Amino acid sequence: MAGLLDLLNSDLGKTIISGVASQSGQSEEKTGGLLSMALPVLTQAMQRNAQTPEGAAGLMSALSGKHDGGILDNLGDLFNGGVSEEVTNDGAGILGHILGSKQQNVQNALSKQSGIDAGSVGNILKTAAPLLMGLIGKQAKQNNVSGSSGVAGLLGGLLGGNSGGSQNILTSILDADGDGNIVDDVLGMVTGGDKKGGLGGLLGGLFGGK
């Protein structure tokens, strides 16, 4: 299964980057850099939410319905004349669901890493989120994915070896006071004094609260 960065480097990915860049007024280089960081972070957030049976079932329902990859079938029409409000509203809903109260933290960290202002990052993510869901939905259809274990395997496969960059972004987000030490920030963000180690614990603190 192709990873997210492989997909971004494909012809389809380049079309997405070009379209999103045109929509946002940012350069393709900056837009591509932002998406290469943001999409793994968003996918990790989905992975976190899909750890419960209810979360996995909800994601599978979305991937087999509205977000089955159809949005990718005619990107020319999608970007021609500007992305519709329907798409960006859908993107806002997706971001709110998977990032919850940490959405602004994520946007600020991505802004710092990409050199794009936080407001523009937010607008780009509203367009990118439905496209990411479409990419995942298309992969799910091609690989006959079903069930919670199938969803977990799909998201893990998409992250593949791409997680290093997104872990750096997560570290930036978690180091809220910019002192280079994420330990105090993690302990402050993880609810209930949960001090689990490793990336799973970090994601729990970052994405656990809604």
pLDDT in tens, 183-200: 333 333 332 333 333 333
Query: What interhelical angle do 53-64 and 118-142 show, nearest 10?
Result: 80
pTM: 0.76
pLDDT of residue 45: 85
Cβ(21)–Cβ(128) under 8 Å? no
pLDDT of residue 19: 93
pLDDT in tens, 155-170: 888 887 444 454 455 5
For residue 72 the two structure tokens come to 């990718």
Cβ(135)–Cβ(35) under 8 Å? no
pLDDT of residue 131: 94
Tokens 């609810």 belong to 191
Q: What is the DSSP letter of 202?
A: H
Cβ(183)–Cβ(195) under 8 Å? no
H-run or E-run covering 130:
helix 118-142
Point out the residues of the chain with pLDDT beneath 50: 161-164, 166-167, 171, 174-177, 179-210
pLDDT of residue 2: 63
Q: Where are the domains of the chain?
A: 4-162
